[in-house]
Structure 1
Amino acid sequence: MSGKADPRQPGEGTTSTTSRTRLDRGRGALGPALELVHTGRAPTRAVLTAELGVTRATAGAVAAELEALGLIQVDARPTAPSGSQGRPSHRLHLAENGPVALAAQVHADGFRAALVALGGRIVATAPGCEPVDADPAKVLGSVVDAGARLLSETGRRCVGAGLAVPSAVAEPEGLALNPLHLAWPAGSPVREIFAEQVRAAGITGPAFAANDVNLAALAEHRHGAGRGSRDLLCVATGHRGVGGALVLDGRLHSGSSGLALEVGHLTVHPEGRPCHCGGRGCLDVEADPMAFLITAGRPPGPEVSLLKQADDLIRHESADPGVRAAVELLIDRLGLGLAGLVNILNPDRIILGGLHRTLLEADPERLRAVVADRSLWGRSGSVPILACGLDHNSLVGAAELAWQPVLDDPLRALAAA
C-alpha cells in the first residue's frame, strides 16, 4: 500500500458510489416495491422501508429508481400532518402520466377496450356494441383497433395487453374451451389470435388472455372489495352465465390447467332448466340475467343488454310482485350454490359481481341467511359477503395480466416494451 494521499477531496466520488451500491442491493426489491405502491400498501417511503425489510437508504434508492422509470412519484418535500410528531416521510404516488396497459373484454353483448394505469386506474375506455361475430379474429381485431385508437389519442406508452373472455381458458395454450354465449368454436386459440392482432396493430409488449371472472377476482383482490383477504371467493354473473374464482394467499387459483372454479355448473335446482353442459338446474341457467328476466315474466329486449335490463328492474321496479318474486327466487338459488362452495372451500370472504351484486344489495339479509342455513359456518361463525367494489373489474384484471411482468421485473419489462 503506497503512502500517497488519495488525490480526491474528502467525499468526492463516494456519494455516487454509495448510491449505486444501495441501488444494486435493492434491484431485487424494485418489483416488490412497485407492487406495494400499486396495491396501495405502501403510501409512504417509511412504510415501504418496513414492508421490504431494508434500510431507509436502500428504500430511498429503490423509490428513486422507480421514479426515474416513470412509474411512481416521490414527494420532494414531505410535510407532517398537523399535531404529529417525528420526521415526516416522503409520500409515494403512482405516476399520473405513466405507462398504461391495454385491457380488452368481450362478452355476449359486445366488447370494451380500455387503457389502465398502475393502481387499477382506468384512463380511457372505448365501448363497442356491435354484434359479436362467430369468428373470434374479427371480434378481437375490432377491440384491438379500438384500443390502438385510445393509445394514439392519449399518446401513452403501452406495457402490454390483456384480454378477458366469458369462457374457461385452458393453459398453457390459451384456448377458450366453452365460449357458449359467443358462438365461437370450442377450443378457439384466443390468446394466440389476440396476440397476433396486438402485433398487427403495432402495440408493444406481451399479450395475455384469461377468464373474465378470474380476472375480476384478481382485480378486486388487489384494488377492490377483496383487498386484505387471504382466501377470497368471487362469484359473478355478467351478461350471460355464472362464473367463479378463488384467490388463495394472494394468488389466483386456476387449477392444473386453468379450469378451476367452473361454478356455473353447480346444480341448484335438479328439476330446473336444461343447461348447456347437459345437466339441469345449474347456476349458469338459474341465476343469470336471462333467468331473472324469464322468472320475472319480462321478455328480453334487443336494444339493451340483458344485464342492464335485469339491473334496472331490480333497482327501479322492486315493488312489482313479479320482480320481487324473481329476486327472492334467484337469491335462494344463488345462496344454495354459495353454501356448497363455502362447505368445500372455506373462504374468509365472498364477493359478488354483476347481477349477483345487485341481488345482494336488494336483500342482503335473505342471501346471508340462506348461505348460513345451508353451510357449516352458519354454526361456527360467519364469512362476510360483500359486493364487488370496482367498476369494470374484468377489464382491470385483464390489465393486471399485462402489468404482471412489470411488477416482476420493472427494468427488464420496460426495456422490452
Structure 2
Amino acid sequence: MNGKATTTRTRLERGRSALGPALELVHTGRAPTRAVLTAELGVTRATAGAVAAELEALGLIRVDSRPGAAAGSQGRPSHRLSVDDTGPVVLAAQVHADGFRAALVGLGGRIVATAPGCVTVQADPAQVLGEVVDAGAELLRRSGRRCAGAGLAVPSAVAEPEGTALNPLHLAWPAGAPVRDIFAERVSAAGITGPAFAGNDVNLAALAEHRHGAGRGAQHLLCVATGHRGVGGALVLDGRLHSGSSGLALEVGHLTVNPEGRPCHCGSRGCLDVETDPLAFLTAAGRAPGPEVSLLQRARDLLREEYDDPAVRGATEELVDRLGLGLAGLVNILNPDRIILGGLHRELLEADPDRLRAVVADRSLWGRSGGVPILACTLDHNSLVGAAELAWQPVLDDPLAALA
C-alpha cells in the first residue's frame, strides 16, 4: 500500500474514533463552532470538518456553513454546529411517589414531548412500567421519530450490575424489584428500538445538570434534592457519576441531622430523608398535606404564596438549618467545588439563601476556608433528562455502531 493511501486510511480511522467525543461536545454545548471542535479534539481542520460532516449525515447534528459574522469581528466566521432537532430521540421515563411521566428527549437534553401519567402508583412495578412505556410508545408513534434507546429514573438506589431497586421506600414496590429487566422487557414488547437502562432519580438529575444545567464546568459536583418524598444525593466527578462499588453511593438522605427527630424508614431517627422533605415542611408549618395536589406542589405553593405567614417562615428556617447541617457534613467529607439543590431544596435556597450558606460555612471546615458555591438546579424535569442521558450514552460512545 502506498504512503498516500495509508495516510488517507489513518485520517479516516482518526476521524471515526473522534465521532463520539465530537458528538458529546456538541451535545453538551461545548463546541458551538467547527473551530472550537477542532481545538477541543486536537485534530486538523480537515479532520474536524470530516467528523462534523459524518455526524450530520447520521442525522445527529447540523452544520451551518454560512453563519452570520458577529458585529465587529474580522475574518470568515467558523461553521456553526448544533444538534439536529429533527433527528433521533430517546424515550425517558420517571416514576415517583405521586405518579409517572414519559418523555421523548433529543440530543442537547431538549425535551420534545411529554406525557404525564397516573397519580397513584400501583404496588406492581411491572404494571406501572408497562403503563409508562405504553405512554412513551404513543409519543413515539405520534412523533414518527427514530428511537435510539430508553432510560428510566426511579426513587430508589439501583444496584449494579443487577439493575434492581433496593429501597423503593416511598413506593409500595418490593425491595429488590428487577426494574431494569422489567423496563427492558416492556420496551422491547412495545417495539421500541435500542437498549434500555435504569438509574436512581437524583443520580440522573445530577448527570443532567452537569451536562446541561447548573453543574456545567464543575469538577466535583454535589447534588442534593428532595422530590415528592424523601431526599437523595449524587456526586459527579470529572464528568462521571460516582456510584460506588455497586451503584449505591451517596445515600445522603440517611444522614442524621436531628437525633431526636422523626423515625426514618431506614430504622434511624432524624435523617435528612424525613426532616427536610415536603412532608416535613408541611408538618413544620402546621399544614395538612391535602389530596388535591402532590406533596411537592403543596409545599412549593406554600413557600411562594404564604411565606409572610410566621408559621411558614418558621418552618422554612427550621428546614434550612437542618439542610445546612447535612450539607456541611457532606462538604467536610467530599470537598465539592459546587453544590446544586433540586426539588423543594431549590425553593428553600431561593427563600433564604444567606441563612443556608451561613449554616454551611459555619459548620464545615472547607466552607469557612472560602465557601462552596450553592446553586439552584436549573433544568425542568432534570431526572427525565438524566434518564435520557443513560439512553444517549451508547450513541455518544460510538455513533456509528449505535445507529447501525
Q: TM over 0.5: same fold? A: yes
Distance 1:24 1:207 in 2: 29
Q: Which range is displaced more, 217-226 or 16-25?
A: 16-25
Correspondent of 2:195 among 206, 211, 234: 206
Distance 1:40 1:170 in 2: 31
CA contact (8 A) 1:144 1:197 kept: yes
Distance 2:57 2:113 in 1: 25
Give the match for residue 20 of structure 2: 31
Give the match for residue 268 of structure 2: 279
Give the match for residue 145 of structure 1: 134
Distance 2:251 2:268 in 1: 14
Distance 2:98 2:68 in 1: 50
Give the match for residue 241 of structure 2: 252
Give the match for residue 231 of structure 1: 220
Correspondent of 2:331 among 342, 356, 362: 342
Give the match for residue 332 of structure 1: 321
Deviation at residue 17 of structure 1 after TM alignment: 10
Matches within 5 A, 1:170-209: 170-209=159-198
Matches within 5 A, 1:12-31: 22-31=11-20
Correspondent of 1:158 among 133, 147, 165: 147
Distance 2:126 2:12 in 1: 45
The percent of aligned pairs where both chains have the same amino acid is: 85
Distance 2:306 2:14 in 1: 61
Distance 2:357 2:289 in 1: 29
Give the match for residue 117 of structure 1: 106
Aligned partner letter, 1:314:
L
Determine which structure has more spread, i.e. the larger CA radius of gyration: 1
Q: Write out per-residue CA displacement over residues 316-342 of structure 1, whole angstroms, 9 at most, x where no aligned residue.
A: 100111111100000000000000000
RMSD: 1.3
SS of the counterpart of 1:277? coil
Distance 2:6 2:328 in 1: 60
Give the match for residue 129 of structure 1: 118
Aligned partner letter, 2:391:
A
Deviation at residue 129 of structure 1 after TM alignment: 2.6
Distance 2:8 2:280 in 1: 62
SS of the counterpart of 2:18? helix
Aligned partner letter, 1:170:
A
Correspondent of 1:241 among 221, 230, 235: 230
CA contact (8 A) 2:331 2:367 kept: no
CA contact (8 A) 2:328 2:367 kept: no
Deviation at residue 20 of structure 1 after TM alignment: 6.8
Aligned partner letter, 2:235:
L
Normalised to the residue count of structure 2, the TM-score between the two structures is: 0.97
Give the match for residue 7 of structure 1: none
Aligned partner letter, 1:361:
E
SS of the counterpart of 1:319? coil
Aligned partner letter, 2:248:
L
CA contact (8 A) 1:311 1:355 kept: yes
SS of the counterpart of 1:167? coil
Query: Structure 2: which 5+ runs fail to align?
Result: none
Deviation at residue 86 of structure 1 after TM alignment: 2.2
CA contact (8 A) 1:19 1:61 kept: no
SS of the counterpart of 1:63? helix
Deviation at residue 303 of structure 1 after TM alignment: 1.8
Distance 1:24 1:83 in 2: 39
Q: Which range is displaced more, 19-28 or 285-294?
A: 19-28
Q: Write out per-residue CA displacement over residues 278-326 of structure 1, whole angstroms, 9 at most, x where no aligned residue.
A: 1000000000001011111111111200000000000110011111110
Query: Structure 1: which 5+ runs fail to align?
Result: 1-13
Q: Write out per-residue CA displacement over residues 189-216 of structure 1, whole angstroms, 9 at most, x where no aligned residue.
A: 0000000000010000000000000000
Q: For the structure 1 residues 17 and 148, does the alpha-carbon distance in structure 2 shift closer, same or farther, using more than 3 Å as the test?
A: farther
CA contact (8 A) 1:296 1:322 kept: yes
CA contact (8 A) 2:286 2:311 kept: yes
Give the match for residue 49 of structure 2: 60
CA contact (8 A) 1:22 1:57 kept: no
Aligned partner letter, 1:233:
L
